[in-house]
Amino acid sequence: MSRAWDRLGGRLGRIAYGGDYNPEQWPRPVWREDARLMREAGVNLVTVGVFSWAVLEPRPGHYDFGLTDEVLDLMHDHGIAVDLATPTAAPPPWFSRLHPEALPVTADGTRLWHGSRQAFCPSSPAYTEYASALVEELAKRYADHPALALWHVHNEWGNHNAHCFCDTSAAAFRRWLRQKYGTLDELNHAWGTAFWSQRYGDWEEIMPPLATPAFVNPTQHLDHQRFSSGELLALHRREAGILRRHSPGVPLTTNLMGTLEKKTDGFAFAPECDLISVDHYLTAADPRAHIGLSLDADLARGMASGEPWILMEHSTSAVNWQPRNVAKTPGQMRRNSLAHLARGADGIMFFQWRQSRAGAEKWHSAMLPHGGTDTEIWREVTSLGAALDSLAEVRGSRVRAEVAVLFDWQAWWALELEARPSQDLRYLDLVRRWYEALWSNALTCDLVHPGADLSSYRLVLVPSLYATTDADASSLAAFVERGGQAAIGFFSGVADEHDHVRLGGHPGAYRELLGLRAEEFHPLREDETIALSDGSRAGLWSERIRADGAETVLSFAADASGGPVPGGPAVTRHPYGRGSAWYIATAPEEGTLRDLLRGIAGNAGVSPAANVPIGVEAVRRHGCGTTYLFLINHTDQPARVAAEGRELLHGTQVTGLIDVPPGDVAVIREDPHGHDGPPLQAPAAHAARPSWT
Ligand code: GLA
């Protein structure tokens, strides 16, 4: 366990529970009531000051810490620890009046104004100067405050302002490029500027990818995304440096956004935090949003290198920023919270403690709703606090995954540049399809960076990795050579990090590993499906493959129903070293992909966490000599699952079988020698494994 968790976990002694606390929105008498109700709900950690810049520095260079002093003392008196935020995500109006050049500009040249939040250019020297000075004052004042348990740097870096196109940003982009490429020749080569007469003869000619008449240079665009994420990371490092200088022992985090945020590379930010925290919000229009939640939780754990992490924000019920903000159903918030816990969170926090009365987020749910304590939300909040107490012993235990799914923000950026073979290839959709297949088989995976150490896994999945470096491609090949199994999805490994095509047949980075060559891609028409040799259907994509050592596991149907390449390989397997590599050259229908990945996992010797009906989530956390099996029933049917041990939420003994009611959760402390999961079986609701496994 890292020192950061030793300190925070040791101090709280329990799973962290609480939310963003914004007392500046309320008169002083309300603060006392807040503190009392927090205790009633079991809250032990609150994030203070996220948007308090205007309170802390009402005029340029004039600081006023009165409110924060009082609130931190109040929290401390009530035994509630504070996650103190640097309020740099919302510069006050005086700042943009004084420095209008620091306001962000969009790609079409529109300047964005204050009156909202994150209205600053990430490359602005004025912003950096004022933000750093404020962080310095804050750190000096509170470094030794007894309530301070954690530093919370900024809020959701780049959520609203990641890409700025102002003159200052353009100059910073040029500096970044000079540093990266050294010479214009290198840059011209990397950007492929021989195409469309784009050759640069002077650094000053280079601009960020502003609105252009036709497709913008793809590598310019990709580099701008890297630069923009890097500028935010530089700001984070700067704040973190100040905080660490004043309070070296206090752990530090920033609330990352997982898949909710494309623009900031989470894997680049992760090593700059002492512990990982993430925000997660359900997409109301997604009927399987709970699977998206699990994916993000597994990504948070990947960013945390397997250590516990904090769910810094989620919602008790509806949010206010989706087209239709659907309220959570009874029990849904509890399931959401415990699903995060099941996947390694040691803190369950919300945006926000008390629902705002005014401002842009007054219709966003909170722990303490407009209706006060005689409400269903409040009852659920207090009951969740009690549930977390009964699960206190789970703190510090780890999820152990035998499957890694490679996830890469940069491959996401590259895949979704303009002028690709099909606009239907959306990175998150591709990853999610494969993830759902694992989830439905109760196969636990870590989402990790392609450069991660893969040696602890049995199976590595690559749903989509359009662009990859030679080093990362070699690391996957070495993993297979040593006996691992890998499965790679179509249109992966076809480009390098400059978005140059890897020549000689696709997918260039994995041709040898997969024992095949794809000559031509055949993306399908919108909603078109084609038949596979086992009678199932597939969509999105097909390609013309020539096997060179790979055996065909499934083909496109040999007649016209098989689409553009009838009879050609659709799924292949290639023995490589002591392992084997699979290629999935289309998007098989849900059941087929589920069977396929279950078969591949079986081949790799990977076990599910439990044999559960589809729709029941099963994950295991491993503690010292003990394991905790989490069963979350997302269906409207009772679920019977084999288990042995003590159920911690209800305090009952489980002997052989447990019935988990519809919508309910069970957490079973299993026998003291740990548990590795049952052998892989077909889930009850689905057909047996296909014969080719
Ligand atoms: C983000 C922000 C919060 C709040 C919530 C609303 O996560 O960090 O300040 O705006 O969204 O869902």
Question: Which domains are delineated in the chain?
Answer: 2-166+230-396 (3.20.20.80), 403-603 (3.40.50.880), 616-670 (2.60.40.1180)
Quote the percentage of the chain above a pLDDT of 70: 97
pLDDT of residue 2: 85
The H or E element containing residue 246 is helix 218-246
Rounded mean pLDDT, 659-664: 98
Mean per-residue pLDDT of the chain? 96
Please check the confidence at residue 678 and state whether its pLDDT lies above 80: no
Task: Render pLDDT for 446-484 as a digit per residue (tens, 0 to 9).
Answer: 999 999 999 999 999 999 999 999 999 999 999 999 999
* Spatial separation of the C-alpha atoms in residues 433 and 589, rounded to whole Å: 9
SS3 64: coil
Query: Whose CA is closest to atom 10 on ligand 1?
Result: 361
Task: Render pLDDT for 242-293 as a digit per residue (tens, 0 to 9).
Answer: 999 999 999 999 999 999 999 999 999 999 999 999 999 999 999 999 999 9
* Spatial separation of the C-alpha atoms in residues 560 and 556, rounded to whole Å: 10
Question: 156 in ligand 1 pocket by Cβ < 6 Å?
Answer: yes
Please check the confidence at residue 679 and state whether its pLDDT lies above 90: no
Question: 313 in ligand 1 pocket by Cβ < 6 Å?
Answer: yes
Q: Which of 283, 320, 351 to mutate to test the pocket of ligand 1 (most atoms within 8 A of CB)?
A: 351
* Spatial separation of the C-alpha atoms in residues 303 and 310, rounded to whole Å: 12
The H or E element containing residue 356 is none
Helices (H), 319-450: 332-342, 376-390, 409-415, 427-440
Question: 352 in ligand 1 pocket by Cβ < 6 Å?
Answer: no
Query: Whose CA is closest to atom 12 on ligand 1?
Result: 319
Confidence of residue 685 (pLDDT cuts 50, 70, 90): very low
Atom of ligand 1 nearest to the CA of 255: 8
Atom of ligand 1 nearest to the CA of 51: 9
- Output Rg (C-alpha) for the chain, integer angstroms: 26
Rounded mean pLDDT, 196-218: 97
Beta strands in 401-560 (DSSP E): 403-406, 445-448, 459-462, 485-489, 516-523, 529-531, 537-539, 541-547, 551-555
* Spatial separation of the C-alpha atoms in residues 481 and 485, rounded to whole Å: 9
Confidence of residue 657 (pLDDT cuts 50, 70, 90): very high
Residue with tokens 């939640």: 293
Cα angle 577, 580, 586 (rounded to 5 degrees) comes to: 145
Q: Residue 300 is encoded by which pair of tokens?
A: 């948070």
Task: Render pLDDT for 11-57 as a digit per residue (tens, 0 to 9).
Answer: 999 999 999 999 999 999 999 999 999 999 999 999 999 999 999 99
Return the amino acid letter for 385. G
Measured in angstroms, how far is the CA atom of residue 351 from the centroid of ligand 1? 6
Confidence of residue 591 (pLDDT cuts 50, 70, 90): very high
Please check the confidence at residue 383 and state whether its pLDDT lies above 60: yes
Upper half-sphere CA count for residue 250 (Cβ side, 13 Å): 27
Question: 264 in ligand 1 pocket by Cβ < 6 Å?
Answer: no
pLDDT of residue 683: 44
Question: 155 in ligand 1 pocket by Cβ < 6 Å?
Answer: yes
SS3 608: coil
Cα angle 193, 194, 197 (rounded to 5 degrees) comes to: 85
pTM: predicted TM-score of the whole model, two decimal places:
0.96
Rounded alpha-carbon distances, angstroms, from residue 95 to 119, 132, 588: 10, 14, 53
Please check the confidence at residue 444 and state whether its pLDDT lies above 50: yes
The H or E element containing residue 176 is helix 167-181
Measured in angstroms, how far is the CA atom of residue 362 from the centroid of ligand 1? 12
Q: Residue 219 is encoded by which pair of tokens?
A: 């590598």
Question: 361 in ligand 1 pocket by Cβ < 6 Å?
Answer: yes
| Weakest mean pLDDT among 172-181, 383-392, 632-641, 669-678 | 669-678
pLDDT of residue 522: 98
Measured in angstroms, how far is the CA atom of residue 452 from the centroid of ligand 1? 30
Measured in angstroms, how far is the CA atom of residue 474 from the centroid of ligand 1? 40
Confidence of residue 677 (pLDDT cuts 50, 70, 90): low
Residue with tokens 């889930």: 683
SS3 617: strand
Length of the chain counted residue by residue: 693
Please check the confidence at residue 693 and state whether its pLDDT lies above 50: no
SS3 507: coil
- The answer to whether 130 and 95 are in contact (CB under 8 A) is yes
Question: 51 in ligand 1 pocket by Cβ < 6 Å?
Answer: no
Task: Render pLDDT for 526-583 as a digit per residue (tens, 0 to 9).
Answer: 999 999 999 999 999 999 999 999 999 999 999 999 999 999 999 999 999 999 999 9
Query: Whose CA is closest to atom 9 on ligand 1?
Result: 351
* Spatial separation of the C-alpha atoms in residues 300 and 527, rounded to whole Å: 33
What are the b/e assignments for 422-453, b being 16+ CB within 10 Å?
Answer: eebbebbebbbbbbbbbbbbbbbbbbbbbebe
For 260, list phi and psi in degrees, rounded to 5: -75, -10
Task: Render pLDDT for 505-524 as a digit per residue (tens, 0 to 9).
Answer: 999 999 999 999 999 999 99
Give the number of other Cβ atoms within 10 Å of residue 116's Cβ: 11
Please check the confidence at residue 402 and state whether its pLDDT lies above 50: yes
Question: 260 in ligand 1 pocket by Cβ < 6 Å?
Answer: no
Query: Whose CA is closest to atom 5 on ligand 1?
Result: 351
Please check the confidence at residue 687 and state whether its pLDDT lies above 60: no
* Spatial separation of the C-alpha atoms in residues 9 and 4, rounded to whole Å: 8
pLDDT of residue 671: 73
Measured in angstroms, how far is the CA atom of residue 152 from the centroid of ligand 1? 14
Residues paired with residue 310 on neighbouring β-strands, in sequence order = 277, 347
Q: Residue 440 is encoded by which pair of tokens?
A: 């439905």
Please check the confidence at residue 675 and state whether its pLDDT lies above 90: no
Catalytically active residues are 156, 313
Task: Render pLDDT for 289-339 as a digit per residue (tens, 0 to 9).
Answer: 999 999 999 999 999 999 999 999 999 999 999 999 999 999 999 999 999
Atom of ligand 1 nearest to the CA of 156: 8
Query: Whose CA is closest to atom 4 on ligand 1?
Result: 351
- The answer to whether 664 and 383 are in contact (CB under 8 A) is no
Question: 595 in ligand 1 pocket by Cβ < 6 Å?
Answer: no
Residues paired with residue 391 on neighbouring β-strands, in sequence order = none
